[in-house]
Structure 1
């Protein structure tokens, strides 16, 4: 009987592992989502893994391939285990992940011009500001009210509550 398992893969090699596993007749599921990011100063939609370095696989242990064959596949490190044996993942979890994947959820991490954001840490902690535009990949330009004047500042995105 087929069961779902979770594989831990080498960094940035999940797709390679998925390709080689599918060539062996193993059903693979690699959930991804679309994220808006600032890449080289431009907003782009990028596909990112929902679970970096992990791939769900579905196969029958009795008919093969064996656990050893799967573990020695290029890009695969090992099964996620509970004790000595690989942990079986429930069918309900995979079904719910696939239903979320079908909705094609898109997470927007960058606000649009004019949105009110709050600075949660750093030099301007606790200040509410108006988002103006991105300033590179990791910073943003904000307008804050300082002595009744709007002042343009550049703040790292990690200090913002998006």
Structure 2
């Protein structure tokens, strides 16, 4: 039976690891977010991993590939383990993360919290997570800071899904 596991990848090599794992029939997923970057004075939007260096993989180690084969794949460092064994993740978590990009709302909501203000999230995969408002991202969305896997991560959330 196929199970989801969490891998730690070498810095900047998630795409390489994904390519090599998919060649071994391992399902791979790492959520990405669009980030605005200023390069040489120009603002560009690029996609970056939501969890840098982490990737969710799904496979059946009884049918192959084995844990050792996956761990030895180019770009992969190791599994996230608890008690020496790779931790099996709930499929609901992965499904929720996959739905993250599918929530688009066409209505404009008046919104004006201050930077650093604590806000709640009413809907979506991060419902109930306490976040800190960072800045506006256009008319419909805001950038929030949340703590995931012991690291502060920026996420973009529709203003209609915020509770402040």
- TM-score norm. by structure 2 comes to 0.62
Q: CA RMSD in A?
A: 2.3
How do 1:34-49 and structure 2 match up within 5 A?
Answer: 34-49=34-49
**Distance in 2, Cα, partners of 1:71 & 1:26:** 12
- 2:73 maps to 1:73: yes
Which residue of structure 2 aligns with residue 95 of structure 1? 95
Contact 1:29 1:56 (8 Å CA) reproduced: yes
The higher radius of gyration belongs to 1
Would the alpha carbon gap of residues 104 and 94 (structure 1) be closer, same or farther in structure 2, given more than 3 Å must change?
farther
Pair 1:51-2:51 in alignment:
yes
Give structure 1 regions of 4+ aligned residues with deviation exceeding 3 angstroms.
Answer: none
Deviations 1:71-103 (A, max 9, x none): 100000000000100011111100100010323
Q: Deviations over 1:4-60 (max 9, x none)?
A: 000000000010000000000000002101111222211110111000001100001
Contact kept, 8 Å, 1:8 with 1:79, in 2: the verdict is yes
SS in 1 for 2:43: strand
User: What is the 5 A alignment of 1:71-150?
Assistant: 71-103=71-103
SS of the residue 2:44 aligns to? strand
Residue 28 of structure 1 is matched in structure 2 by: 28
Q: CA separation of 1:19/1:72 partners in 2, compared to 1, >3 Å: closer, same or farther?
A: same
Taking the aligned partners of 2:75 and 2:58, their CA distance within structure 1 comes to 17
Tell me the secondary structure at the aligned position of residue 68 of structure 2: helix
Give unmatched runs, 5+ long, in structure 2: 106-113, 116-164
Could you say which residue in structure 1 is the equivalent of 2:5? 5
Q: Which has the higher contact order (CA 8 A, sep 6+)?
A: 1
CA distance in 1, matches of 2:40, 2:104: 25
Q: Distance in 1 between matches of 2:7 and 2:104?
A: 24
Residue equivalent to 1:131: none
Task: Tell me, yes or no, if the aligned pair for 1:33 and 1:104 is still in contact at 8 Å.
Answer: no
Give the superposition deviation at 1:104.
6.9
